[in-house]
Amino acid sequence: MPHFVLIFYMRRGFTLGEILLVSTLVTSISLTTYHAIRKGKEAQCLNNLRQIYMAVRMFEMDHGCLPSAKFFPSSPSDPKGIHNILKDYGANRNIFFCPALPEQLNKYGTNYIWNDNVNGKDLSSLPSSTWLMTEMTAVSKRIPPPHGWGFGILYIDGHAEIGKRIKFPEVSSSKKLSPPDTSGSPKEKPFKIDFQISSPAIKAGESARITVYFTDKNGNYCKVKEGNLKIEISDEKAKFPQSIDLSQKGGSRLSFNITFFKAGLHTIRISHPLKGIEIEKSIRVSPGKAEKFLIPDFPESFVAGKVQRVKIISVDKWGNISDYKGECFLWDEKRLLALKKVDFDKGIFEDDIVFNKSVEEDRLLLYDKEKVIFSSPPFSVVPSSPEKIIISGVPVSTAGEKINIEISPVDRFGNICENFAGKLKMEISDEKGKFPSEISFDKKDKGRKIVGITFYTSGNHKIKVYNKNLKGEKEIFILPGELDHFSIEKIDTQIAGKPFTVLIRAEDKWGNRVKGFKLKDLTGSVNYTQQDVTSGMWLETIVIKKASKKNMIIIDDGAGHIGKSNIFEVKPSSPFKIALSGPSVLESGKDCEFQILIEDKYGNRIEKYSGEFKVLCDDEEAEIKIDKKKLKLSVKFKEEGIRNIKIFDKNNPSLQAEMKVLVLKGGKNEDRDNK
């Protein structure tokens, strides 16, 4: 075994007990279980390791060194487990499991092991060939590799690959690892080798000139023309000659170029295996100019109103974190965010981002003064939880017409919650209206439901949709429909010649008032003294002079729209004149009846009278009787001759009537009667 490998084992941080523990865990599972697992899944495993490295890198930037984690945790909650240390740096728990290993190995929070030899060290101070993590099955040669021929391995420089098993001491419960044999005499060193670097610090992508020279024990230059000069660089991406044939380019000194591509502290080791001499020096490689940007762990979606942390890293063309010195601004493709100036600190920009409006696809953009210099992966902004209901539709409609409204649950920013599912109740203020009392949503509705409603009552109305947690209201004005008929308010008993008011409505078929119509009477008995037409309802002042027990007012606009009042009575007005009706020739000693006739000034006969009559007659002995109920006057004359009868109202002397009669001697006398 080479000498430097032995030293490597002796300097490891993990103990044989730890190796034994992990070996016991992996060998406790039957080989049949390993063989039953589908091989492959290399891409997912390598992606896990790269994401772990991003979290390790952020930890190192915060603390100035690598985390001090256990080789393998003692339990899922072990605070020294690398999975618990990195969880505050955005490391999702799922990335700590190689998908090609049996699930029985996932009980401890991870199925990767951590190289605890790097604990507390600086990334840049370690050779790039140093490993950080690999599958726990690597500790046992009895277990087949999870990825066909090899294991997933994460290196100190951040790259991950499928490689050969990391070498571990073979252990069992009854054996202990013996220390390596370091006996023997050192190799002779007849001369020294040294080299100089053209610059102590260079940038990634730049070349460093290396000058190698040989000296004897006294420090004098000496020529070497045999064997090969071996060159090893910790940056596996670097370009350099790995070997130089000294028989072709031998001498006391020689030069060659190295181009580094990875930033950090790198080790250059030059050796002459034949002579057994070597020299090792470090060089600091700084990042090149920032040329592109990365967003680690970028979310596929944002939730409206929720603050989410976004990190943007500026890197050079070789992926090294490099501080961007230009002036740039952060915006988004849909212009939902306010333009924000971006200031990178050591190549990293972090900020909280909040979107309020939902969108199916958007991208974060970085602008310099002239153009877009970076575009993030696409993402969506999804609504937050629904907080109210929006009802959309026409603000004005007509009675009897079906209208469609759109009902949508929205979050507090007005975004339609397309994933809403559940039932909502509906109410409207029109008792006659037609509407669904319950509305069911499922995800295929995408947060929108079209509902039909018919109002029959004109005026202002309210639509209400709700459930236990949500509520939405909308006001709508309903116009009356087309004119269908007229309605006349009930008319009570009226007095002839006395004006009375009639309330008339022009209405649609549902009883809503309609504007713009006037009264028209077809009986010819109505005199209009006043009209006031407003808002489809107006008053008419009417005078009817003819008394009757059955009166009706009919309205017709001449276009087939009519209206009829109730049947009402018109009574005569106050008495205006009085008259007597009866025989003009009569016999003395016999009762003779006269009808008392009372009329108003329009000629309407008054059948009932409450006044006090007084009758005067020039036959002082005549017998006079008055039947007020039947309005009859009975007179029995005693004296013969022409007699005068006068009747009047004691309380209204102007209401009087006179009648002259011829009174003949009592007895039958046809000739006198004829006369």
Burial class (CB in 10 A: 0-12, 13-18, 19+), 418: middle
- Give the type of residue at 483: L
467 and 591 in one domain?
Answer: no
Q: pLDDT of 374-383, one tens digit each?
A: 999 999 999 9
CATH code, domain carrying 327: 2.60.40.1930
255 and 239 in one domain?
Answer: yes
Domain boundary among 571, 597, 614: 571
* 493, pLDDT greater than 90: yes
Q: What mean pLDDT is predicted for residues 422-444?
A: 95
Residue 182, pLDDT score: 34
* 576, pLDDT greater than 70: yes
**In a domain? residue 115:** yes
Domain residues for 250?
192-286
**In a domain? residue 170:** no
**In a domain? residue 169:** no
145 and 237 in one domain?
Answer: no
* 249, pLDDT greater than 80: no
Residue 303, pLDDT score: 96
419 and 331 in one domain?
Answer: no
14 and 148 in one domain?
Answer: yes
**In a domain? residue 253:** yes
158 and 32 in one domain?
Answer: yes
- Residue 410, CA distances (Å) to 120, 261, 304 in order: 51, 52, 11
Q: What's the structural domain count of the chain?
A: 6
Q: Which secondary-structure segment (H or E) carries 207?
A: strand 207-215
How far from the centroid of its chain's Cα atoms is residue 187's Cα? 77
User: Quick check: 310 and 377 in contact, CB under 8 A?
Assistant: no
**In a domain? residue 211:** yes
- What beta strand segments (E) does 316-437 contain? 328-332, 340-342, 348-353, 359-362, 364-367, 372-375, 379-382, 388-392, 396-398, 402-410, 422-428
CATH code, domain carrying 644: 2.60.40.1080
CA distance 381 to 302: 5
* 50, pLDDT greater than 50: yes
How is 512-577 classified by DSSP, letter by letter? -B-SS----BSSS--EEEEEEEETTEEEEEEE--S-EEEE--EEE-SSS-EEE---EEEE--S--E
**Range picked from 179-193, 195-209, 660-674 for highest mean pLDDT:** 195-209
152 and 37 in one domain?
Answer: yes
User: Quick check: 456 and 430 in contact, CB under 8 A?
Assistant: yes
Return the residue matching tokens 């008339």.
504
Confidence label for 526 from pLDDT (cuts 50, 70 and 90)? low
Which residues sit opposite 239 in a β-bridge?
Answer: 259
How many other C-beta atoms are found inside a 10 Å radius of the C-beta of residue 191? 17
Higher-confidence residue: 268 or 525? 268
Q: What is the dihedral of CA 368, 374, 376, 382, to 10 degrees?
A: 20
Residue 421, pLDDT score: 95
Strands 568-571 and 548-551: what pairing? Answer: antiparallel
Confidence label for 69 from pLDDT (cuts 50, 70 and 90)? very high
Q: Which of 273, 138, 104, 266 is nearest to 199 (CA)?
A: 266
Domain boundary among 358, 382, 406: 382
* 365, pLDDT greater than 90: yes
How many other C-beta atoms are found inside a 10 Å radius of the C-beta of residue 199? 12
Q: What angle do CA 63, 342, 49 make, to 5 degrees?
A: 45
Q: Which of 669, 666, 624 is nearest to 647 (CA)?
A: 624
Q: What mean pLDDT is predicted for residues 37-46?
A: 77
CA distance 241 to 357: 57
**In a domain? residue 151:** yes
CA distance 591 to 128: 153
Q: What mean pLDDT is predicted for residues 223-232?
A: 88
CA distance 270 to 210: 10
Q: Report the percentage of the chain scoring pLDDT > 70.
A: 89
Confidence label for 350 from pLDDT (cuts 50, 70 and 90)? very high
626 and 541 in one domain?
Answer: no
The dihedral through the CA atoms of 268, 132, 285, 291 has a sign that is positive
636 and 550 in one domain?
Answer: no
* 17, pLDDT greater than 80: no
18 and 124 in one domain?
Answer: yes
492 and 458 in one domain?
Answer: no
Confidence label for 220 from pLDDT (cuts 50, 70 and 90)? confident
357 and 466 in one domain?
Answer: no
CATH code, domain carrying 557: 2.60.40.10
Residue 524, pLDDT score: 52
Confidence label for 181 from pLDDT (cuts 50, 70 and 90)? very low
Higher-confidence residue: 143 or 558? 143
Residue 2, pLDDT score: 31
What's the chain's average pLDDT? 86
Domain boundary among 382, 403, 433: 382
Q: What mean pLDDT is predicted for residues 486-502?
A: 92
User: Quick check: 223 and 247 in contact, CB under 8 A?
Assistant: no
Burial class (CB in 10 A: 0-12, 13-18, 19+), 330: buried
Q: What mean pLDDT is predicted for residues 616-633?
A: 90
Confidence label for 178 from pLDDT (cuts 50, 70 and 90)? very low
**In a domain? residue 187:** no
DSSP 8-state symbol, 416:
B
Q: pLDDT of 653-662, one tens digit each?
A: 888 999 999 9
DSSP 8-state symbol, 4:
H
Q: What angle do CA 324, 329, 334 make, to 5 degrees?
A: 135
**In a domain? residue 606:** yes
